[in-house]
Amino acid sequence: MRVYGFSMKSRHASAPVPPERLKPVLHEKIERMNGEQLVLLDRVLLQLEAEQAADHLSEAFDADHTQGRFRRVAELIRQFRAERRYA
């Protein structure tokens, strides 16, 4: 099966690359990609960045919740709206 010019077999056939050698190997692979493949790679990287940001936010919200920082949110919103009645 081929998707955007990538062969599913080639990924399984290649040996794992040690982390210290991964950057040059990836750079070499990127240099060989055509435009369609680069667009797909960009989308994959954007998805990875979005997932990392979501994980970070989730951890931060969990920490804030654990520390009780959300207990007064509803009360503060009501107070704010009461003090600023809109016409």
Q: What domain range is 55 assigned to?
A: 2-83
Using CA atoms, how far apart are residues 37 and 43, in angstroms rounded to an integer?
10
Mean pLDDT by 10 residues, the chain (87 residues): 48 74 94 98 98 97 90 89 80
Q: State residue 29's pLDDT score.
A: 96
Number of domains in the chain: 1
Check: CB of residue 52 under 8 Å from CB of residue 60.
no
Q: What pLDDT sits at residue 5?
A: 52
